[in-house]
A and B are shown apart, each in its own frame.
Chain A
Amino acid sequence: MLQVNNIDVFYGNIQALHGVSLEVHEGEIVTLIGANGAGKSTLLKTLSGLLKPKSGDVMYLGNKISGKPAQTIVKAGMSHVPEGRRVFANLTVEENLDLGAYLRKDKDGIAKDLDHVYELFPRLLERKKQLSGTLSGGEQQMLAMGRALMAKPKLILMDEPSMGLAPLMVKAIFEIIKMVNAEGTTVLLVEQNAHMALSVAHRAYVLETGKIVLAGSAKELKESDEVRAAYLGGL
């Protein structure tokens, strides 16, 4: 479904990604783990068109999407839940969700998906007229996910959904990720919470200073000594 071939990404003169390649197949949850500054968010931003790779390419559903503007990529069915949630704070919950469906024209489909998002996140329904800046961190994360789902993506990119959340909320968020995946949306998940990420994912990649250093099934990685030492607390 998604194929990343040997991409190099720069911020000015500084190279953030060195020849990164990875693959995501339809129906999977793939996770990308790594420390701060490894390039995880950079990779997601490149996939969704917010950054352009200097070399290499990104293929999505058989089309080259690298270098295309973000709106083309969203239209093609890939949506991005940005790091730190980034909800539109002075708009209501419902207005935020409407903006998620910004590129869609099918009114009936949008209404149906709105109901579905409220089913997945009953908290958002309770607070639909509330300004989203007044929600708790966990609720904002739910809103950011709901907003991305409103674009009806085939592939959803999630950047650190557990960031800054209480353990119970982290668990709830991961349950929802599994549910979204079970409904047929492919998920590419970037996480620092390697333990949680590996427990829901099918496959995983480990990114270190801009390079993929390990890849395999989530189970294999969970048991590998390097990952245990570096990311799971060296048990």
Chain B
Amino acid sequence: MKKSKAFWAYLLIGIIIYAIVQFAMSSGMIGSYYSNMLITMCINVMLAVSLHIIIGITGQFSIGHAGFMAVGAYVSAIFTMKLELPFIAAIVAAGIIALLAGLLIGIPTLRLKGDYLAIATLGFAEIIRIVILNVDYVGGAAGMTVMRETTWSYAFFAMLLTIIVISNYTKSRHGRACIAIREDEIAADAMGINTTYYKVVAFGIGAFFAGIAGAIFAHNFYIIQPGTFGFLKSFDILIYVVLGGLGSLSGSVLAAVLLTAVSTYLAEFPETRMIIYSLVLILVMLYRPTGLLGTKEITDIFKFGKKGGKNV
């Protein structure tokens, strides 16, 4: 009862934020520059949260997340541009095909551990990129032109759905099993948790939402090219998760929002942009080595505040 109350409260806050931004956009208070930044934020939050379930919750060090994003982007582009189906169908298809790609890659590679898994996933993401690069149907290296269909509403609700599904999954019995695997795989096995199954499920869910993020992304920039989904993109996503604090969903969200804002503002200084960006990362890691929020959630901090208030 208490939990569901909190859930509705957060949902309400989310919808209020959505409504305010939507109003500001339609009345012209937020120009196209900032509305674009807000949509990019939503996409990056989705990518960060979908990788968070794989790395932060289940502890599987996967660094090929841009590969699933690429699958989602191209599948959705084929749906809208070649098959001329509605955008919403393209989004769903992007998620499902990315999920299948996730299972295909996850089942053989999740037997590996630590750095071996990281290298294998990185390799798979590159394979996806190279395959796309060599398929003329989707434009090869020149890329594919895509209609602009993404709006603030699509981006925001896709993000909200991602956060709701993944935070509820984490709190469920299944989520607890995934956390046990992260903490100690042998002990989790000895408790009777089917470790392979849960690793594959987490991988599938992560790939699904990365695919949806890819679909939203593809329909935001008029053109998609295989180069966009290289390993640098994978590292960007990894940085959100690590910087936010491994294991903290709100940390991933916060880091994705902050870093998107930082890199948007720095776009005005192209010569020094990467230097400043790297400095921000180094400073955070020096002073907050466990990430911005560590393993805590923003909601935990509020809870402490409430308790303190009662005692006084």
A residues adjacent to B (C-beta < 8 A): 48-50, 69-71, 73-75, 79-80, 82, 86-91, 95, 98-100, 102-103, 147-148, 151
Bound Cα distance A202, B188 (Å)? 30
- Asked if A100 and B191 make an inter-chain contact with CB atoms under 8 angstroms apart, the answer reads yes
Is B113's beta carbon under 8 Å from chain A?
A: no
- Asked if A71 and B177 make an inter-chain contact with CB atoms under 8 angstroms apart, the answer reads no
Q: Given A90-B183, A90-B247, A71 and B192 touching (CB < 8 A)?
A: yes
Bound Cα distance A82, B191 (Å)? 10
- Asked if A103 and B186 make an inter-chain contact with CB atoms under 8 angstroms apart, the answer reads no
Residues of B within 8 A of A49 (CB): 189
- Asked if B176 and A95 make an inter-chain contact with CB atoms under 8 angstroms apart, the answer reads yes
Task: Specify the chain B residue showing the minimal Cβ separation from A85.
Answer: B187
- Asked if B190 and A91 make an inter-chain contact with CB atoms under 8 angstroms apart, the answer reads no
Can you list 23 A-B pairs, Cβ within 8 angstroms, ordered by A?
Answer: A48-B190, A50-B186, A50-B189, A71-B194, A73-B192, A74-B190, A79-B191, A80-B190, A82-B186, A88-B184, A88-B188, A90-B295, A95-B176, A99-B180, A99-B193, A100-B191, A102-B176, A102-B180, A102-B191, A102-B192, A102-B193, A147-B191, A148-B190
Main secondary structure of the interface of B (DSSP, over half): helix
State the Cβ distance, A117 to closest chain B Cβ, in Å: 14
Residues of A within 8 A of B98 (CB): none
State the Cβ distance, B198 to closest chain A Cβ, in Å: 11
| Partner pick for A70 among B183, B192, B247, CB 8 A cutoff | B192
State the Cβ distance, A98 to closest chain B Cβ, in Å: 7
- Which residues of B, 146-204, contact A by the 8 Å Cβ criterion? 173, 176-177, 179-180, 183-184, 186-194
Number of cross-chain contacts by CB at 8 Å: 67
- Which residues of B, 130-153, contact A by the 8 Å Cβ criterion? none
- Asked if A91 and B179 make an inter-chain contact with CB atoms under 8 angstroms apart, the answer reads yes
- What is the size, in residues, of chain B's interface with A at 8 Å between Cβ atoms? 18
- Asked if A88 and B183 make an inter-chain contact with CB atoms under 8 angstroms apart, the answer reads yes
State the Cβ distance, A26 to closest chain B Cβ, in Å: 22
- Asked if B190 and A70 make an inter-chain contact with CB atoms under 8 angstroms apart, the answer reads yes
Residues of B within 8 A of A95 (CB): 176
| Partner pick for B192 among A91, A98, A103, CB 8 A cutoff | A103
Bound Cα distance A180, B286 (Å)? 48
Task: Specify the chain B residue showing the minimal Cβ separation from A72.
Answer: B192
State the Cβ distance, B182 to closest chain A Cβ, in Å: 8
Bound Cα distance A99, B183 (Å)? 12
B residues adjacent to A (C-beta < 8 A): 173, 176-177, 179-180, 183-184, 186-194, 247, 295
Residues of A within 8 A of B191 (CB): 74, 79, 99-100, 102-103, 147, 151
Bound Cα distance A86, B181 (Å)? 11
Q: Given A88-B183, A91-B183, A95-B176, A75 and B192 touching (CB < 8 A)?
A: yes
Which of B179, B183, B188, B193 has the largest count of A CB atoms less than 10 A from its CB? Answer: B183
| Partner pick for A86 among B179, B187, B247, B295, CB 8 A cutoff | B187
Residues of B within 8 A of A91 (CB): 179-180, 183
Bound Cα distance A91, B193 (Å)? 16
Bound Cα distance A229, B179 (Å)? 46
- Asked if A88 and B180 make an inter-chain contact with CB atoms under 8 angstroms apart, the answer reads yes
State the Cβ distance, A55 to closest chain B Cβ, in Å: 23
State the Cβ distance, B58 to closest chain A Cβ, in Å: 13
Bound Cα distance A86, B187 (Å)? 6
Residues of B within 8 A of A98 (CB): 176
Residues of A within 8 A of B189 (CB): 49-50, 70
Residues of B within 8 A of A103 (CB): 191-192
Task: Specify the chain A residue showing the minimal Cβ separation from B192.
Answer: A74
Which of A86, A88, A89 has the largest count of B CB atoms less than 10 A from its CB? Answer: A88
| Partner pick for B190 among A75, A79, A89, A90, CB 8 A cutoff | A79
Q: Would you list the 10 A-B pairs with minimal beta carbon distance, nearest first?
A: A74-B192, A88-B183, A86-B187, A71-B192, A80-B190, A103-B192, A86-B184, A70-B189, A102-B191, A99-B180
Bound Cα distance A102, B194 (Å)? 11
- Asked if A82 and B190 make an inter-chain contact with CB atoms under 8 angstroms apart, the answer reads yes
Bound Cα distance A75, B193 (Å)? 10
Bound Cα distance A95, B184 (Å)? 14
- Asked if A82 and B192 make an inter-chain contact with CB atoms under 8 angstroms apart, the answer reads no
Other A-B contacts than A70-B192, A88-B180, 5 sampled, CB-CB below 8 A, are A50-B189, A74-B192, A86-B187, A89-B184, A103-B192
